[in-house]
Structure 1
Amino acid sequence: MSDNKKNIENQLIHGFDLNLLEVFELVYVYESVREASLRLGRSSSAISQSLNKLREMFSDPLFVRSGTRLIKTATAVNIHSAINENYLGLLNNLQELVSNNVRNSVNVFCSPYCGVRVLPVIMNYVTQENIECNIIHQTLELDEVNLDDQLSLRQVDLIFDINPIFRTDIVNTPVSLEPIIWVCSKNHPRIKDTLTPEMMRNEKFVNFNSQGMSVKQGQEEIKDKYGQRNIIFSSASVFATVAVVEQSELISPMPAWLFNKYGSSYMLKQLKSELPLPDLHIYMISRKSTLRNDVVRRISEGVVAGFQSGM
């Protein structure tokens, strides 16, 4: 028997279904049987059966339900730590063996605002260049699972977000710099066109929920200079903010592009202020190995070129 055959036999765990690794990793990342079933195209009962096999093998519950999510046990964390790197390496190697011509879909994750900014650029480029592929857009929400894991498990090809991911196998490409301005309703009874330090202390404000470094930096600068603002509405949606500000006396930060696009429709006005707000960066995030695919690479280059041309 060859050494290679001996090595394979020595590494075999008799009776272990290697497909269980895929189930385990997806349930681990999404903390949900339902989400794992959707990604794998299998029923929730089939996923539960696979989990039961894993629980029996490791003599541990692995995941314990808490509300709508599954909480990982210490054993599950240890399993993930032990297999994750090799499992992702296997996925990388398999992907590189697949011909570039067989890919006919590109998965794009982004927030609603990033989607409005980026998706028209993508579709315009794909159409002009006659790239034969299907763009699948999924909305990125605050409660979305860790983007790092999304990229690792191949659930997404391109992410557009204000938060870069700092990892050696990840490429963060700045695609847009969005100036942020102060706005309020055109019918605001006390404010004409200038936001004074006194108004910063006395008026009511909207706060944008974000983990982005530039957003948090701007919020801290305002707090340091003017003290704690009176925030009575918080949202992660700039579109919800537009509607709320129009019908209220609230003051809000807003991307200048969004104001220029929709400000007049929503009866908003821009306010002058002695405190300029930090710009908002939008990054295109992808794995280096994913960019080896010709279709993804061409689309990513098209996005950069599109924003540089002022689309």
Structure 2
Amino acid sequence: MISPQDDERKREIFRTLRNLDLNLLTIFEAVYVHKGIVNAAKILNLTPSAISQSIQKLRLIFPDPLFIRKGQGVTPTAYATHLHEYISQGLESILGALDFHGSHNKQRTITIATSPSVGAQVIPLLYSAIQKANPHLLIRNVAITDTETQLSQFQTDLVVDGSTYTSRTIGSHLLFSDRLVMVCREGHPCSQSSVSLEQLQEHEQALITLQNDSVNEIRKRLNHLFPNLQVAFSSYNMVTIAAMISSCDLIGIMPARLFEMFKESWRLREIDTSLFSDDRLDTTLHYNKLSLRDPMMQSVIETVQRAFPAKGR
């Protein structure tokens, strides 16, 4: 919790900043670094008179002359040296955050939104590809709440899910399509041999409840194949689905990539059935097209597209 003293101190800082022309700090740094008013004027494309007036304004703010004339230049006071240590760090941080030219030696955080199960599949691959292209980038994985809102309001840089969006502001690239497998626990009656549709109908199922196009199509197909389908358990998290299937007689459907990740730790087995042999689950990268104006984001998106050379849409 913020104490009343801290709150008042922050208000005082903001009041001070409001009355301080931050351009003066840039001029201070130029005079300090280049050791003279004339040199600073050349660097900033200002007149020496304008630089002198700015230094005079700073002397009214700070209780110190800041610079003392010495020969053709000036020398900073001890107080000015103290100021320089903090001001230089602040200006460097601001320039790093703005990163006008998308410099590859600047540290920056890229936010990627996924569901837990999609994140487990794609984030390690995305991280590896992005780090090879730009090792200074930091990656932050967050949850998907509302893809179109998150992208349109720049709450996240990238979204990876299985949906399709018609908004003109959203660009997409298909990362991969995965086949679907029906799974059960080790030792389940359906794990022994080829299983018929009638045998599958005897068992309750576990379903994932993500609201995206691919999952909704799978649910429709299931309702068609199993008109009397009994869904005993559903979850938004495929890891939870896998854990449930491993501990009881539920059967379920999951992408083959996830099955390969889970089968040993959860002792899952693929059910021998051709019911879903033609079905695929898409995983797609989405981004705000305005992000392409940012050289750094354009580089990241192109890096991801090269790492997953599927047909974009």
For the aligned pair, the TM-score class normalised by the smaller chain equals 0.5 to 0.7
Higher mean alpha-carbon deviation, 272-281 vs 255-264, is at 272-281
Alpha-carbon separation, structure 2, partners of 1:190 and 1:132: 49
Alpha-carbon separation, structure 2, partners of 1:225 and 1:114: 26
Question: C-alpha offsets along residues 20-74 of structure 1, whole Å, 9 cap, x if unaligned?
Answer: xxxxxxxxxxxxxxxxxxxxxx9xxx9xxxxxxxxxxxxxxxxxxxxxxxxxxxx
Whether contact under 8 Å (1:172, 1:286) holds in the other structure is yes
Residue of structure 1 in register with 2:300 after alignment:
299
Residue of structure 2 in register with 1:200 after alignment:
200
The two structures, once aligned, show a CA RMSD in angstroms of: 2.6
Distance 1:270 1:190, change over 3 A: closer
Alpha-carbon separation, structure 2, partners of 1:125 and 1:175: 13
- With the length of structure 2 as denominator, give the TM-score of the two structures: 0.62
- With the length of structure 1 as denominator, give the TM-score of the two structures: 0.62
Secondary structure of the equivalent of 2:128? helix
Alpha-carbon separation, structure 2, partners of 1:170 and 1:103: 26
Which ranges of structure 2 fall in alignment gaps of 5 or more residues?
1-6, 12-97
Question: C-alpha offsets along residues 105-141 of structure 1, whole Å, 9 cap, x if unaligned?
Answer: 211111112211221122212322234222221122x
Alpha-carbon separation, structure 2, partners of 1:242 and 1:113: 11
Aligned match of 1:138 in 114, 127, 142?
A: 142
Residue of structure 1 in register with 2:286 after alignment:
285
Alpha-carbon separation, structure 2, partners of 1:307 and 1:100: 23
- Map of 1:119-268 to 2, 5 A cutoff? 119-140=123-144, 144=145, 146-189=146-189, 191-268=191-268
Whether contact under 8 Å (1:172, 1:284) holds in the other structure is yes
Alpha-carbon separation, structure 2, partners of 1:99 and 1:307: 26
Deviation at 1:235, TM superposition (A): 0.8
Alpha-carbon separation, structure 2, partners of 1:216 and 1:308: 26
Alpha-carbon separation, structure 2, partners of 1:258 and 1:271: 15
Residue of structure 2 in register with 1:118 after alignment:
122
Whether contact under 8 Å (1:200, 1:229) holds in the other structure is no
Higher mean alpha-carbon deviation, 195-204 vs 176-185, is at 195-204
Alpha-carbon separation, structure 2, partners of 1:165 and 1:274: 30
Identity %: 21
Deviation at 1:299, TM superposition (A): 1.9
Whether contact under 8 Å (2:130, 2:300) holds in the other structure is yes
Deviation at 1:179, TM superposition (A): 1.1
Larger radius of gyration: 2
User: Which amino acid is the alignment partner of residue 301 of structure 2?
Assistant: S
Whether contact under 8 Å (2:207, 2:231) holds in the other structure is yes
Deviation at 1:218, TM superposition (A): 1.9
